[in-house]
Amino acid sequence: MLLQLIVFTLVDFGASWSTTNECYGSSYTLTPSQTTSPIYFMPKSIDKRILVVENGQSKHERFEATLSGIKIKDLTEQDNGAILYFDNENTVYLTVSDCASADTKYYGEVFSWIIPYDAQYLEFSQVLPEGPLKPVTYWNRSLASVKRGQVNHDYFEIHNLKQKDSGYYRFRRYGNRLIKWKRIRVEANHKHFELNEGDDLDMDFPNGFKFAYITFVAEGSTYEEEIDRSVLSRRMEVARSYFIFRGLRHGDAGIYKFRDIEGNVAVTMQLEVIIAEIPTWVYIVIFAVIILGLLICCCCIKKCCCKKVQVQETNLVLPRHLLCITMIQINLLHLRSLFSLKSQESLLQIQQFLMHLAAAQTYHHITSKPQLQKLWDPPRSRTNSSSEPRFELKESIFPSAPPLSSDTSTQDVYTSDKLNFL
């Protein structure tokens, strides 16, 4: 440390220096202006410079001389804070950090990694939000047992990965020297379903999953709750390798997380439930039925109204009592052509009385029912002989009447007491 302070002090007095930021596992290439000048490397852990390049030739296994410069391979955490000296008075300060991207794995998958020939053990550091935990040794060449995973020939394998397996894996040789490292991130399997109301959902679980419970976040909400066991037994079926959700409803939409007994999330399921929409042809059929119903109703109403008007016209054209009086008048007119003059005068008196009676009845109906005025006209005065109706009497009308002639000596007079108004 004292030597490093002295070096930085000398740099401050005129020597050029620079800082480079690199990631674990990457390489750094130094390009000196003088290829024949020696290059020294001083790790942070020791206060001694190490000759790594001389006259353009590499003196250390980690340093490689190329046409473009001097390349440092596989930067590790031990390289963080190291200093390179070149061109006699120039220096480079190395900053090595964990900035490489992690390999993404999913719950239930297999992690396989070849074991270097000089590796002595494999350590693992779990990554938490507050930082990596203390390393734990998973495999040691000198020990037959393996704490996590298994050795298959020259490969180290971990089956049925879980979130707790996310972190750093490092192979080291003797002296705790890092050989290679890798960071993996285990995520839950993501599944998305878009189903209609009333449908059933079928889903398979990943390998090695031991179901414990389900948490649910409703659509549009941020509150996560555990699904009650009664709902599981009533509408859901959870087996070792599959999951069934029957009779989906619109309120079932949201995010479901299936967890194991250790709290690891095996599957994150996003469910969208589509509200059942009525097809367009249904609207067309409904509209056609409505139009047809209206047409049928209009036809029925029109037919009923026509029948009613016909009945009213039939009943209102001529009342019954007026019809009887009219028929009597018609018969009297026929009789006048058959009887003698005196008899005709008697019949004329009867007809005149009936005319007055008909006129009175007509006036009564006109005042009570104005619509009859157009349908019935009272008889005109008998003084107008031109307008008097005339009828031709045939023998078939009165078959029982005896024949009459002008030579008859007797005169028949109608002497009924009921019709004698004189």
Nearest-5° Cα angle at 253, 247 to 256: 100
Sign of CA dihedral 316, 319, 325, 327: positive
User: Which residues, including other chains, have CB under 8 Å from residue 331's CB and lie 6 or more apart?
Assistant: none
- 2-97: CATH topology is Immunoglobulin-like (2.60.40)
Q: State the Cα–Cα distance between residues 319 and 372, nearest whole angstrom.
A: 10
Looking at 3.30.1340.10, 3.90.1300.10, 2.60.40.10, 3.40.50.720, the CATH number of the domain 103-187 comes to 2.60.40.10
What is 189-274's CATH number?
2.60.40.10
Choose among 365, 359, 355: nearest CA to 421: 355
Q: pTM for the whole thing?
A: 0.52
**Are the C-beta atoms of residues 176 and 135 closer than 8 Å to each other?**
no
Q: State the Cα–Cα distance between residues 215 and 226, nearest whole angstrom.
A: 4
CA distances from 283 to 197, 279, 286 (A): 20, 7, 5
Sign of CA dihedral 278, 281, 282, 283: positive
Per-residue pLDDT tens listing for the chain (422 residues): 444 444 444 444 445 677 888 887 678 888 877 667 788 888 887 778 888 888 778 888 778 887 777 888 777 777 788 888 776 677 888 888 777 678 899 999 999 999 999 899 999 988 776 556 778 899 998 887 788 889 988 899 999 999 999 988 989 888 777 788 888 999 999 999 999 988 999 999 998 899 999 999 998 888 999 988 777 778 888 888 899 999 888 889 999 999 998 889 999 999 999 887 777 777 788 878 888 888 888 888 777 776 665 655 455 444 544 444 555 555 545 545 544 444 455 555 555 655 655 555 554 554 444 444 444 445 544 444 444 455 444 444 444 444 444 444 444 444 545 444 44
**Are the C-beta atoms of residues 319 and 371 closer than 8 Å to each other?**
no
**Are the C-beta atoms of residues 347 and 338 closer than 8 Å to each other?**
no
- Region label for 173, one of left (φ > 0), alpha (ψ between -120 and 50) or beta (otherwise): beta
